[in-house]
Copies of this chain bind each other. A is one copy, B any other.
Amino acid sequence: MGKPSEQRKQEIIDATLDLAASLGVKKVTTQAIADHVGIAQPTVFRHFKTRDAIFVAAISSIGEGLFRNLAAFFSGTGPADERLHQLVRAQLRFISQNKGLPRLLFSDRLHLESPLLKQAVQKIMNGYTQQVSRMIREGQAAGLMRANLDAEECACLVAALIQGLVMRWSIFDFDFDLAAEAEPLWGFIAAALLVDGEGAVL
């Protein structure tokens, strides 16, 4: 009967993310996945009904991984500004170790071909901005962040900053240290959000 289904599924997902990182989404054919896992190509379809379903599962898997990594900062107990700082750092670190994420994020498979895949990403992004805007409101309530800011709008822009940075990283072939960008990035965000932000050093 071969390996149990759940284990194989995860192997297929991992192979997909590995291959996406190194080859790009387009080249992640079901044959390539099968070779990487070490099974025959039709066997892939024993575990996923369609190729798209594999990508949806991969996005969900990596999304869950990201949230598991960031959950501590979303709901921690320290001051909101420090938690946001740590969040940015942890997020860039996580992404720099999961290059499959930007590959999937910037694929046209996501952008028009697969509504399901897009929905999965929209869900992740909405969850993220919701958590960040909550943190910003906490920071405002504590007098740490400027009260005249629209928390939700700011959360979107913080997300945009990170995504834009990741996109630059992807376009430039992952050839700079993404995690190292956390500090100047935080300098920028702090300057924009914090009450005493004008003193930030970038």
Q: Taking A146-B198, A162-B164 as contacts, is the C-beta distance between A111 and B154 under 8 angstroms?
A: no
CA distance A49 to B26 in the complex (A): 22
Q: Write out the residue numbers on chain B whose beta carbons fall within 8 Å of the beta carbon of A195.
A: 198
B160 touches A165 (CB 8 A): yes
B157 touches A184 (CB 8 A): yes
- Known contacts A26-B108, A107-B107, A160-B164, then 8 further A-B pairs from the complex at CB < 8 Å, ordered by chain A residue: A106-B108, A108-B109, A125-B168, A146-B198, A148-B201, A149-B202, A150-B202, A160-B162
- Pick the interface stretch among A70-78, A79-87, A185-193: A185-193
Q: Write out the residue numbers on chain B whose beta carbons fall within 8 Å of the beta carbon of A197.
A: 191-192, 197-198
Closest residue of B by beta carbon distance from A164: B160
Bits for A35-50, please: 1 = Cβ < 8 Å to B, else 0: 0000000000000000
Q: Write out the residue numbers on chain B whose beta carbons fall within 8 Å of the beta carbon of A163.
A: 160, 163-164, 167-168
- Determine whether A156 belongs to the interface, using a CB cutoff of 8 Å to chain B: yes
Q: Write out the residue numbers on chain B whose beta carbons fall within 8 Å of the beta carbon of A162.
A: 160, 164
Q: Taking A103-B111, A112-B24 as contacts, is the C-beta distance between A160 and B161 under 8 angstroms?
A: yes
Closest residue of B by beta carbon distance from A165: B160
Point out residues on A near B: beta carbons under 8 Å. 23-27, 103, 105-113, 118, 121-122, 125, 146, 148-150, 153-154, 156-157, 159-165, 167-168, 170-173, 184-185, 188-189, 191-193, 195, 197-198, 200-202
Q: Write out the residue numbers on chain B whose beta carbons fall within 8 Å of the beta carbon of A156.
A: 165, 168
Q: List 28 A-B contacts (CB under 8 A).
A: A24-B112, A26-B112, A26-B113, A27-B112, A27-B113, A105-B167, A106-B106, A106-B107, A106-B167, A111-B171, A146-B198, A148-B200, A150-B202, A154-B188, A154-B202, A156-B165, A156-B168, A157-B165, A160-B160, A160-B164, A161-B161, A162-B164, A163-B163, A163-B168, A164-B164, A188-B192, A195-B198, A198-B198
Select the residue from A121, A195, A200, A202 with max chain B CB neighbours within 10 A. Answer: A202
